[in-house]
Structure 1
Amino acid sequence: MNDKAAILGGLQAQIYWLHDAEKFTELASAAATIYLTLGYTQQQAETAGNLISEAYKLADEAVFAQKVGDFDKELQFYYQVKDKLTEVETVLGYQTSIAIYQMKWWLYFRHKKKLQILVNLFLQNFQALGLFHLFTAIKLTYFLMEIGRVHKSRDLETTKHNAIKYWLELLRINPSQYPYLG
């Protein structure tokens, strides 16, 4: 197994649990470590990690708005999530924006709309990787769907295993832009 993929997969799985535990400082640190491992500078990584943590907090606020039936407020929070993730892209120097797709699959995940989750996960990967890596984008989408499925059942080891497979596949192609934003 690729050591880098194991590190990245472990951190990715850890982020989901830190989010569930509302440990946002640790979540920011784990996200920053992902970007350091990918070769970004300390400043880029820390800024991206903090923005990703803020996006998770805003997504939680959106869930609270959803629970009280305030759809407009929920959407406002999700668009703030998109803005935070767009800032991450800017900090990392991404050429193609994928933040809208990540924001949408987060929204649809919470609304349990499986087809829309799948479409937006795929678009996030496809947009970042392009037509040349269509099959990789499909595989990455599958791994992310599996990560979400087993995370919901609170299976940390299988979540980590799927996250490692995700990173093995992604690192194999050495993309110019990563489709992962936290």
Structure 2
Amino acid sequence: MPGEVTQSTEVVAAQQAVAAAPQEALSWVKGGELPPELVTGHKSIDAEHRMLLSCITSLRKVCIDYANIHDCGNCDQARRGFCENELVAMLGDLFAFILDHFKTEEEIMRHSLFQIIDRDVCEAHMEDHAAISGKVLEIVASLDPMNTVSRIRDLDILLSRWIVHHIGLHDVLLARWVEREGAAPGQANKLPVW
């Protein structure tokens, strides 16, 4: 179909790898760089996506052993307070960041022909934004000093899957569309700058 943007086989493979084995598939998180198949080519958006990687790295340092500790019952009160304060601060910053990041992407969709050409893809992209925001709010609503480590794991999974699934499925397609349309005569100045 004319104007249709399709996923690369590399992006599909990355998504399948995360679904099958999240820890192995996300080994690149430690390096702080997105795998090539998840780089959109837009410097500011890719920089924001690298900020997400940094957030995951920081999140994983909050708890002394977030992967193996069941709950916070064996930690002393000072440690529980520290972990909870760090997580609350991170969630506040993260929520502000994602609202701004999603607003920018949705603005690009509205100002480009992508929303007209493939409305279903754009609506799915915006629905995914709402789902991610909703999950962050669920994590905030379920904060409990005795279960901070569980919320850390929940947020780690959400951010990791966001990077692979959302970026790979939605953001890469949007970036390809904008790049293609930006290269068309007279279109470059009509699209918001990332």
* TM-score (normalised: structure 2): 0.37
Q: Which structure's CA Rg is the greater one?
A: 2
TM-score by length of 1: 0.39
- Structure of greater relative contact order (alpha carbons < 8 Å, 6+ residues apart): 2
